[in-house]
């Protein structure tokens, strides 16, 4: 990665007062999906390993400078800007593999990991990742929500103010770029991914569906315990669609009810699955729990919903019809033909959904609270939100 590119949010380093090298990563500003699609998992892994090798080299240099053994470094991770886009499943898989390889090959080299400005979406990511982190490594994590890192027990307890980056209210003019989206023109083609794990893994977990006008695609999720988290990740491969989430106290398909288990996701036979009966009335038989989201062709959408009630949740992808022309003059023949051509096209989506159980999510919150008291404020806000009303996080 070349740090000169604004989207290649790179690392920088300096030395803190205890002699440990300090690495700064603006993870919240990185386009993880774009990096994986453009570079591949193997290239990202090699880059991270090169960072660790650089860390060892700097530890050796600092050992000579400070006249005492220095064998570990501090990593400062800024999560400002983190959203559901960072939970793209191939990206999470790549992250878990990187963690596994680094822990196996560079044990005890991480002295401390400071996670700053953790947003409300962070507990979802923590729930997915933390079980794969070694307990000893997890004890080195300090997590701060909002601006808690500026108060007592914050950064100044661990890093000299002179080397705290300026974007974190420090005195060091840090040149770490803010990042940005990787241009899709740099994405590797399907042919280039043919022999790579990314393509195989993506094809294994993602399902495809065609959506026609008047024939939406719907999947059913049964939730037993409130405060579970439904997550979704889909790409709009063709056409424009409207994404909706509904809730019903009873199953839209009573005949299929015995096949449903806790947190199960069903997609009965057929590419176009419709679960909402035409005789059902919105507000009486089922309710909308998220505002409709219009998604354009080529967009990638990630999001989550903290469930308020048990019951049946329906995720729906519906054909997006263009609004009628409001112009008073008669439309041109070319415009009519173009409109007919567009309306006749089907839409196609590739999607993946996952349910994080209430017990796992609450356990994740407890784990976060134990990481640092500064996170308790965020934890309480998230827990309160999930208990009192639905909490949605959507990113494109």
pLDDT grade for 272, boundaries at 50, 70 and 90: low
Using DSSP, state whether 149 is helix, strand or coil: helix
Domains in the chain: boundaries: 12-186, 206-322+338-356
pLDDT at residue number 359:
83
Residue of 149, 150, 130 lying closest to 140 (CA atoms): 130
Average pLDDT over residues 216-225: 93
CA distance linking residue 98 with residue 92, whole number of Å: 10
54 close to 106: Cβ distance less than 8 angstroms: no
The average confidence (pLDDT) of the chain is 78
pLDDT at residue number 343:
46
**Long-range contacts for 135-141 (Cβ within 8 Å, ≥24 apart)?**
137/103, 137/110, 137/113, 138/367, 138/371, 140/110, 140/111, 140/112, 140/113, 141/113, 141/115, 141/371, 141/372
Handedness of CA 372, 20, 103, 76 (dihedral sign): positive
In order of 158, 237, 317, 356, the CA distances from 218 in angstroms are 50, 17, 6, 20
121: CB partners within 8 A, 6+ apart: 82, 83, 84, 86, 87, 304, 393
Handedness of CA 102, 106, 108, 113 (dihedral sign): negative
Average pLDDT over residues 278-302: 91
Per-residue model confidence as pLDDT tens digits over 343-390: 456 899 999 999 988 888 877 766 666 655 444 444 444 444 444 444
315 close to 231: Cβ distance less than 8 angstroms: no
CA distance linking residue 24 with residue 159, whole number of Å: 12
> Is the pLDDT confidence value at 294 over 70?
yes
Average pLDDT over residues 183-191: 80
395: CB partners within 8 A, 6+ apart: 83, 84, 85, 301, 302, 303
pLDDT at residue number 72:
94
pLDDT at residue number 160:
87
Average pLDDT over residues 280-307: 91
User: What CATH number labels 206-322+338-356?
Assistant: 2.60.120.680
pLDDT grade for 193, boundaries at 50, 70 and 90: low
191: CB partners within 8 A, 6+ apart: none
CA distance linking residue 233 with residue 254, whole number of Å: 28
> Is the pLDDT confidence value at 53 over 50?
yes
CA geometry: angle at 11 spanning 232 and 73, to 5°? 105
pLDDT grade for 190, boundaries at 50, 70 and 90: low
Per-residue model confidence as pLDDT tens digits over 111-144: 999 999 988 888 888 888 888 888 888 888 898 8
**Any idea which architecture 12-186 has in CATH?**
3-Layer(aba) Sandwich (3.40)
CA distance linking residue 139 with residue 168, whole number of Å: 23
Q: pTM score, two decimals?
A: 0.74
Average pLDDT over residues 28-32: 89
Instruction: Concatenate the DSSP letters of all residues of 325-382 into one string.
Output: P--SSPPPHHHHHHHHHHHHSPEEEEEEEEEE-HHHHHHHHHHHHHH-GGGHHHHHHH
């Amino acid at each position: 990665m070349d740090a000169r590119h604004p989207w290649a949010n790179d690392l920088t380093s300096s030395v803190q007062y205890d002699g440990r090298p300090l690495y700064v990563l603006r993870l919240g500003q990185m386009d993880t999906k774009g990096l994986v699609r453009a570079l591949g998992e193997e290239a990202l892994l090699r880059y991270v390993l090169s960072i660790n090798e650089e860390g060892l080299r700097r530890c050796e240099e600092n050992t000579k400078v400070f006249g005492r053994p220095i064998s570990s470094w501090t990593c400062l991770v800024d999560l400002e800007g983190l959203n559901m886009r960072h939970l793209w499943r191939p990206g999470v898989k790549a992250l878990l593999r990187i963690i596994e390889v680094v822990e196996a090959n560079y044990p005890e080299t991480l002295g401390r990991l400071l996670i700053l400005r953790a947003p409300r979406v962070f507990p979802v990511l923590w729930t997915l990742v933390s079980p794969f982190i070694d307990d000893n490594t997890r004890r080195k994590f300090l997590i701060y929500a909002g601006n808690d890192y500026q108060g007592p027990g914050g950064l100044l307890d661990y890093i000299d103010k002179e080397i705290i980056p300026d974007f974190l209210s420090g005195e060091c003019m840090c040149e770490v770029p803010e990042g940005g989206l990787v241009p899709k023109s740099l994405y590797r083609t399907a042919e280039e991914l043919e022999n790579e794990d990314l393509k195989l893994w993506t094809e294994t977990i993602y399902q495809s569906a065609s959506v026609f006008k008047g024939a939406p695609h719907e999947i059913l999720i049964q939730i037993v315990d409130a405060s579970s988290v439904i997550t979704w990740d889909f790409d709009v491969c063709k056409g424009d669609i409207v994404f909706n989430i509904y809730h019903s106290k009873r199953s839209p398909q009573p005949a299929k009810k015995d096949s449903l288990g806790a947190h199960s996701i069903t997609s009965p036979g057929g590419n176009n699955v419709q679960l909402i009966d035409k005789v059902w009335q919105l507000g009486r038989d089922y309710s909308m729990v998220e505002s409709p989201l219009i998604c354009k062709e080529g967009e990638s959408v990630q999001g989550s919903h903290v469930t308020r009630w048990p019951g049946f949740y329906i995720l729906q992808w519906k054909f997006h019809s263009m609004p009628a022309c409001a112009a008073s003059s008669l439309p041109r023949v070319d415009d009519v033909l173009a409109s007919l051509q567009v309306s006749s096209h089907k839409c196609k989506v590739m999607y993946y959904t996952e349910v994080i159980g209430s017990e796992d999510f609450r356990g994740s919150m407890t784990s976060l609270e134990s990481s640092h008291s500064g996170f308790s404020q965020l934890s309480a806000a998230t827990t309160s939100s999930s208990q009192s009303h639905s909490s949605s996080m959507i990113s494109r």
